[in-house]
Structure formats: structure tokens, C-alpha cells
Amino acid sequence: MTRKHLTEDQIQRMIASDPDAPEATDEQLAQAKPFDEVFPALAEAMRKNAGGRPKSENPKIAVSLRLDQEIVARFKASGPGWQTPAFPCPKPPRADQTPAGLPPVLRS
């Protein structure tokens, strides 16, 4: 789709014709205050909530791993989403547990 480029005059006419969003005057701009001065509690709440998902108590660690081509090919052969179950390596067993074993894709 091609976008139609508007001239500055067309843009200004569109701004002037919009009753819901009039252009701010110099006097209004001179009286403007920063958001956090006008709404300090809201600004603080927004700052605290800016991080996305909550922090994990046991975060995962990003690693880089080099594997033989044939190993990666075996994982990929399992189809879409092969990265997710590719490395569900079992945690070391506690003294009262038996080893969980290897994921099925690594057993053959």
C-alpha cells in the first residue's frame, strides 16, 4: 500500500479542524508542568511497575552452547518447538530420590 504524503499546509488544516485536539498555545505551553510534579503518586506507581514480569526467585541463566550438527538435527527432527524440550536436563537428584533419567530425545 502506498502512503499519500501530505504537505505542511494540509497537515496544519487537519490540526485546525480537529475540535478534540486543538494545538496548544504559547501561553498553555508556558504553564505546562512535568507529569511527575502534577501527579506524583501516579508517576511513582508507574515507575515501580515499569519492569514487566515479576522477578523470579530462581532465575534461569542464558548460556551459549556449541553442539555437533547431528545432535541438533535430531532435536530439529522432532518438529516445531524443538528448542523448548531440547534441554530439560534433570536436576541432580536429592539423596532420597532416584535419577530422573534423560529426556526421550537423548536416549537413542
CA 3 distance to own-chain centroid: 29
**pLDDT tens-digit readout, 67-106:** 889 888 888 888 888 887 655 666 665 555 555 554 555 5
Residue 3 has pLDDT above 50, yes or no: yes
Q: What is the end-to-end Cα distance of the chain in Å, rounded?
A: 52
Q: Which residues of 31-51 are buried (b: 16+ CB within 10 A; e: fewer)?
A: eeeeeeeeeeeeeeeeeeeee
- The one-letter amino acid code at 18 reads D
The reported pLDDT for the residue numbered 108 is 45
User: What pTM was estimated for this model as a whole?
Assistant: 0.32
Mean of per-residue pLDDT scores for the chain: 79
Q: What is the mean pLDDT of residues 38-65?
A: 83
Residue pair 102/85 in contact by the 8 Å Cβ criterion: no
